Amino acid sequence: MDLDKPKDPNEVEAATRLSRLGATLVDSLVAFAPLGAMVLLVPMALIAGGGGPILALIALTGLISVAVLITQLVLLAKNGQTIGKKVMGIKMIISTGEIPSVWRVFLLRWLPLAVTAGVVELMFKVRGMGNIIYLVDALLIFQPTRRCLHDLFADTHVIKA
C-alpha cells in the first residue's frame, strides 16, 4: 500500500472505542497536568507574597501549556493525530482519505458542539446542562461506524494508523 496515497475510510479499520477513549484520556492528562500545577502554584505564590521562584514555576507551567498546544496542533496538521491518538496508534482522516485541516477540526469538529452546549445552558439556565450535548456526542460512538457526533459534523473518521 502506498503510504502517500490517501486511505479510503471504507477500506480501513475504524479505531476501537477503547483506543479512542484512551487517546482522549492521554490528551486530557497531557493538557491538564501543567494547568493543574499552575492551579496549585498560584495560591502558593499569593500566600508567599509573590515569591520569585514560585512565579518562575508559574511562568514555566504556562510555557509548557503553550508548548503542548503547539505540539498537538502540529501533530494534528501533519499526521491527523494528537499525542493521545499517536500513543494509541490511531489517526483522523476525512472521507477522501486525507488528513483533516486544523481549521476543519476546529470549525466543524469542536466549535459546533461547544456553541450548542453553551446555547443549551443559556436556554435552560442550568449550569452543566450543556454537558448533555457532549454525552450525546460520546454515546454515538456505539453506532456501527464508531463515529461520534463531532465526526459526523466534520466528516472525519478515526482509524487505526
Taking only the tens place, the pLDDT of each residue in 11-47 is 889 999 999 999 999 999 999 998 888 788 778 777 7
Residue 7 in domain = no
Containing structural domain, residue 154: 17-160
Q: pLDDT by residue (tens digit) across 73-87?
A: 999 999 999 999 999
Instruction: Specify the pLDDT at position 103.
Output: 94
Q: How far is CA 8 from CA 39, 109, 120, in A?
A: 44, 20, 36
Residue 4 in domain = no
- State how many domains the chain has: 1
pTM summary value: 0.82
Residues, the chain: 161
Q: Mean per-residue pLDDT for 129-154?
A: 94
Residue 72 in domain = yes
The grid coordinates listed for 78 are 501533519
Q: What is the dihedral of CA 106, 108, 114, 116, to 10 degrees?
A: 160
CA-closest candidate to residue 123, choices 110, 132, 112, 134: 132
Instruction: Specify the pLDDT at position 39.
Output: 81
Q: How far is CA 30 from CA 15, 67, 68, 91, 126, in A?
A: 21, 11, 7, 17, 30
CA-closest candidate to residue 160, choices 83, 102, 85: 85
Instruction: Specify the pLDDT at position 38.
Output: 79
Residue 2 in domain = no
Instruction: Specify the pLDDT at position 3.
Output: 53
Residue 1 in domain = no
Q: Mean per-residue pLDDT for 137-149?
A: 95
Q: Is the pLDDT of residue 150 over 90?
A: yes
Instruction: Specify the pLDDT at position 117.
Output: 94
Residue 97 in domain = yes
